[in-house]
Structure 1
Amino acid sequence: MIFPIGDDNVKGGHYPFVSYTLLAINIVVFLLQLSQGDQQGQFIMEYGAIPAEVTQGQRVYTLITSMFLHGSVGHIVGNMLFLWIFADNIEAVIGSTRFLIFYLAGGLVAHAAHIYFNMDSQIPTVGASGAIAGVLGAYMIMFPQSQVKVLFLIFPFRVPALLFLGFWIFSQFQYGVGSLQIETAETDGIAYWAHIGGFVFGAVRGFSLRNEYIRSLKRGFREEDLVD
């Protein structure tokens, strides 16, 4: 199995306060979720986003609260790993306030994509995956040559962000298309269309953010300011 363990970081820019705060909040909420014990399922039903309810205008607040819930330890570890690796460069360039707005907007677009294919679903959607997929989409456009450090078994190596993230979204799209052949667009507990929707949003937004990044390079950043 291949998974990322680091990347090239932008030297200077804004401190990734929001990225680290989001990471901490997700962990705290997950611990709170675990503390519910036998009531954890009820907790998820209360704060997870249920498409059939949201489409009826009910409990719309869950579109936000669900972004901070996770279904398992593996779920949150994977999400927080990607958030920790890829979010800081974007926040360094666009600033903390704009990054928070971007992150939440990506999560909402991800919800919209998932709900579109699951309007009658009573299954609660949880996780930061959609919002983080938006981060990945923007990162691929803004920093395509950044080297992502990945680990295969015990062997570390580097690949360009364009290749790593391009392969990731390609695999999500394959699973998403495959899911349309069954009753729900959510398979194996994974909302693939939420990932796709968030990623597309991030990639589209990434083009304008990339232009801002280029202008910031001219004001002081340089491509070689990407450091380990």
Structure 2
Amino acid sequence: MIPYRDTIPTRYTPWMTWTLIVLNLAAYVYAETLSQQDLYYFLNLHGLVPARYTNPEWAARVGFPVGDYTPFVSSMFIHGGALHLVLNLWLLWIFGDNVEDRMGSVRFLAFYLLCGLTAGIVHVYTNAHSNIPTIGASGAIAGVMGAYYFLFPYARVVIWMFFLPWFVEVPAIAFLGIWVMIQLYKVTVGLPSDEPFADVAWFGHLGGFIAGMLSYRLFLLAGRKDDSYYRSHST
């Protein structure tokens, strides 16, 4: 199932959501202009390589800059392909504008980065020996989805059943609940069985989602809570 849109309109222009989308697009376009060799170095220098931080002797031996933690942020803006990029930015487009509505642009950016950083830390901890660069905004967007889960309990998501020619409207908490169950399945069954997509940062996704659930209240902007407005536009 693929989400098409949600039923909650925004009250304020989501400038930061749009900015994040543009930055991700710009990073992707830049990466596409690189040669294969330059792209390899770009992904390893700016992607998140767990062993770079858990095995500093190895990192120094292969030439990683010492004490450089910028990949925890830069990796959030790099994607491995057009499909990866589109899926992530589509989820950010659907859920990010509403969460930004309640936080304001500056607080939303801080929240987004916090969730992405948490996802990165969880990924490094759970994949300590990996020398594969991890890239993508999934962890930060998972945090946005975690906040949305609690902020908009009346929302519904219109999804496309991709083997059927129609759209179906489901409660947002059901859609997000299924998403969480998929992540849990992958980390408990999928990874040990070496299923396809075993190289995806599933633990990082869950870390970002939990960070969003636990911290979103700290970023809410006073004066932007109006449950009657959101409830009236949820169906």
> TM-score with structure 1 length normalisation?
0.88
Q: Secondary structure at the match of 2:68?
A: coil
CA-to-aligned-CA distance 1:13-40 (integer Å, 9 cap, x gap): x321000100011011001001103222
2:22 to 21, 24, 33: 24
Structure 2 unaligned blocks of 5 or more: 57-65
CA contact (8 A) 2:49 2:134 kept: yes
Give 1:90 shift. 0.6
**1:222 aligned to 2:235?**
no
Take 2:219 and 2:73, find their aligned partners in 1: how far apart are those partners? 24
Q: 1:172 matched to which residue of 2?
A: 183
CA deviation digits over 1:124-169, x for unaligned, max 9?
1100000000001110111122011110123111111100001101
Superposition map of 1:93-108 within 5 A: 93-108=102-117
- In the TM superposition, 1:136-155 aligns within 5 A as 136-153=145-162, 154-155=165-166
Q: Is the 2:143–2:208 contact (alpha carbons within 8 Å) kept by the matching residues of 1? A: yes
Residue equivalent to 2:167: 156
Query: Do the aligned partners of 2:156 and 2:172 also contact (CA within 8 Å) in 1?
Result: yes
Residues of 1 paired with 2:39 and 2:95: CA distance? 30
Percent identity over paired residues: 34
Structure 1 unaligned blocks of 5 or more:
none
Alignment of 1:1-228 (within 5 A): 2-12=1-11, 14-38=12-36, 39-55=38-54, 56=56, 58-153=67-162, 154-178=165-189, 181=192, 187-206=197-216, 216-217=225-226, 222-226=229-233
The one-letter code of the counterpart of 2:100 is E
Q: How far did residue 189 of structure 1 move?
A: 2.9
Aligned length: 221
Structure 1 consecutive aligned stretches of length 4 or more whose deviation exceeds 4 Å: 207-213
Task: Compute the displacement of 1:59 (Å).
Answer: 2.5
Structure 1 residues 202 and 124 mapped into 2: Cα distance closer, same or farther (>3 Å)?
A: same
How far 1:94 sits from its partner (Å)? 1.0
Q: What's the CA shift string for 1:157-214, capped at 9, x where partnerless?
A: 111110000110111011012356379xx9433110010000011112245668968x
Bigger proportion of residues as strand: 1
Distance 2:215 2:15 in 1: 21
SS of match in other structure, 2:225: helix
